Each structure stands twice: as C-alpha cells, then as structure tokens.
C-alpha cells in the first residue's frame, strides 16, 4: 500500500481498491462523509463550514477537495463507522447551521457508501484531475475546481497525513450540539449513544454520556467544557 492509499484507508476506510473507484462496503457503516457545493456556490460559502466545525464544534478540520468537474468538497473522516442515517443527520445539521439559505441544486450531501465519489486524485476528463488541496489554495479553484496536471501522490498523502478523524464521542457530541438528535428515527441505533432524555428515566443515561465526554481526553476541550456545563445543569434540576 503506497502512502496515499495508506492515508485514505486511515481516514476513510478506503484502501487500494477504493482509491481506484470501488466504493467501500456499507454493511459496517461509513467513515467518510462528503459535503459538496456546486456553482455558483463554492469555496466562499464552503469555507464557513470548514471554519465552523473547528471553531464552534471543536472538531478536527476536514480535507478540502476539488471534484475535477464542477464542485468543491469537504471530506469528513470518522474514527468509527456510523450508520448512513447518522451521517446524513450530521451533514444536514451543518447545512442548517452554516448555509441555511443555500438552494439544494447547489448542494450534495453524501453519507452513503454506494454514492461516495471516488477519492482524489482521479482524472475525470483529459487534463482535469480531482485532488485534495490545501486550505490557503482552495479559493484559487473557485471557478475551475480541478487540476490541469496529475497531482503528486506524496503531496496528496502529506495533506491527508496532517488530518485526524473525528472520534466517536466527539461526533456524538457534535450531533447534539447541532440539535439534530431529536430528529433521529426510532429505528436508528448508534453504538454507545444514549437517546435524548424526554422524561425522568432518561436523565441517568444523559448524565453518563456527559460524564464520558467530559472525562475523555481525546475530545476537544471546548466540548468537554460544554459537557461539564450540561452535567451541572442536570445536577441543579435534580
């Protein structure tokens, strides 16, 4: 496995075969979520999502990519596989918070392994390549979301090497902070995720969840502080 394929597998569960266009198996859930914007929307709008997930939700930055055709993308990496329905809730929550007025024709949210685009780099047509790009170069591709030459594989691997996946407890906390868990259908089950308490019996589960977030050193400090505040609020209501 070359360095780029290693990073694709580490972040998204995409090994050598997936990097050449094969979609990962959906049976065990998904580890890659893609937030894609098409013209006239572009990096000017997508950057608000890229910045917001870090500053507001305390999540690691997603990879930035140009599709090689007509779109710019954010590739979110999950440390643990999740159900596509949970991934969809996460992406919809980001849309509602950061781009509520954006028309659906300019937006594509991908949380299904079967619909996941081939991971960059890929030649989409003669002299047009998809690629991961650095944040300070993303605006350069606003009107031409592709590279004219094949990107260097080691350079692509280096961009991904600097990124970290979203840990499960941080993903769960982000879902709550985005306010989307109340919309979870009854048959959706996320490993280790207590349901939103709607009555007295739910408080114990909620407090266990908040304690887990607060004590997990892998969770960003901002989320641990929010969990501590939530736990204090539960104590005052008891």
pLDDT digit string, tens, across residues 206-217: 666 677 767 766
pLDDT digit string, tens, across residues 143-194: 899 999 999 999 999 999 999 999 999 999 999 999 886 544 433 434 443 3
Alpha-carbon span 46 to 38, nearest angstrom: 10
pLDDT digit string, tens, across residues 103-143: 888 999 999 989 999 999 999 999 999 999 999 999 999 88
Alpha-carbon span 227 to 72, nearest angstrom: 33
Indicate the pTM of the whole model.
0.76
Residues 6 or more apart whose Cβ sits within 8 Å of residue 22: none
Do residues 58 and 123 lie in contact, with contact meaning Cβ atoms separated by under 8 Å? Answer: no
Alpha-carbon span 59 to 53, nearest angstrom: 6
Query: What percentage of residues in the chain have a pLDDT greater than 90?
Result: 61
């Amino acid at each position: 496995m070359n360095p780029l394929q290693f990073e694709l597998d580490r972040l998204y569960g995409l090994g050598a075969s997936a990097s050449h266009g094969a979609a990962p198996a959906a049976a065990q859930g998904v580890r890659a979520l893609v937030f894609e914007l098409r013209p006239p929307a572009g990096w000017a709008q997508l950057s608000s999502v890229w910045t917001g997930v870090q500053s507001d939700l305390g999540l690691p930055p997603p990879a930035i990519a140009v599709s090689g055709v007509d779109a710019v993308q954010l590739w979110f990496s999950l440390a643990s596989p999740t159900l596509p329905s949970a991934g969809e809730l996460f992406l919809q929550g980001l849309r509602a918070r950061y781009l509520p007025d954006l028309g659906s024709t300019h937006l594509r949210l991908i949380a299904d392994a079967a619909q996941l685009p081939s991971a960059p780099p890929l030649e989409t047509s003669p002299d047009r390549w998809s690629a991961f790009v650095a944040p300070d170069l993303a605006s350069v591709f606003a009107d031409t979301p592709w590279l004219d030459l094949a990107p260097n594989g080691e350079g692509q691997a280096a961009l991904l090497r600097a990124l970290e996946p979203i840990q499960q407890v941080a993903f769960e906390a982000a879902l709550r902070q985005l306010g989307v868990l109340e919309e979870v259908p009854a048959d959706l089950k996320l490993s280790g995720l207590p349901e939103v308490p709607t009555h007295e019996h739910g408080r114990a589960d909620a407090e266990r969840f908040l304690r887990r977030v607060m004590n997990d050193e892998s969770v960003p400090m901002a989320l641990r502080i929010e969990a501590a505040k939530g736990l204090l609020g539960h104590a005052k209501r008891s």
